[in-house]
Amino acid sequence: MTDATELIVVRHGETVWHAENRYAGSSDIALTEEGVRQAEALARWAATAGLSGVVSSTLSRSAGTAAPAGEAAGVPVAADPRLVEQDFGQGEGLTSAEMRERLGGARERFELDPLRNPLPGSEDPVKVAERGVAALADAARAHPGGKVLVVAHGTLIRLVLCRLLGMDAGRYRRAFPEVGNCRGARLHWKGDGEAGLLGFNEPLEP
């Protein structure tokens, strides 16, 4: 494959836990009413974006964000479990403050370097980045020269960006302090697997 593919990799809409600043991770948490509105706005963008495909994490918050976009664009949504968010282990469902209370110094170490000090019981962030990059590579391979919307999760997106851009993933929280709902990264993906970052946290508007 020689044609470059544009990948628009976005975070899902707002969820109940994220509205409360709780770590959802691999837990399957539903969208809030605001999250549904964000998904509807993304669909309005998708209707005129010229998408050739839509790929989504299998968690319901991503699938529920991707489905309206796929329908608006007139393309099927492919589900890929490799796009599921990192499992945060004992941090699932907790706020940052609750982690500090319950997990001893683990939260503080995580904040300093989440790559080398993942939360107790967490999935290895290196593996998260590997499966995320593999999912994006397959999405690009399926749509050479096309434009693909990928709906995934905030931490996975940041870990993938660090890997693609040759950055220390231990800095992902500082390098990419926030991934907005229904916003993310716009990537130029070449046939040899090389990726360039075209934009980050851009509003997607019709």
What spatial distance separates the first Cα and last Cα of the chain, rounded to whole Å? 30
Nearest CA among 72, 77, 34 for reference residue 53:
77
Up-side HSE of residue 110: CA atoms within 13 Å toward CB? 19
Residue of 6, 12, 14, 18 with catalytic role: 12
According to DSSP, the β-strands at 195-200 and 53-56 are unpaired
* Whether 85 is catalytic: yes
* Whether 188 is catalytic: no
Residue of 14, 85, 92, 123 with catalytic role: 85
What are the phi and psi torsion angles at 151 (to 5°)?
-105, 115
Q: 């709902």: which residue's tokens?
A: 181
Q: Supply the residues annotated as catalytic.
A: 12, 85
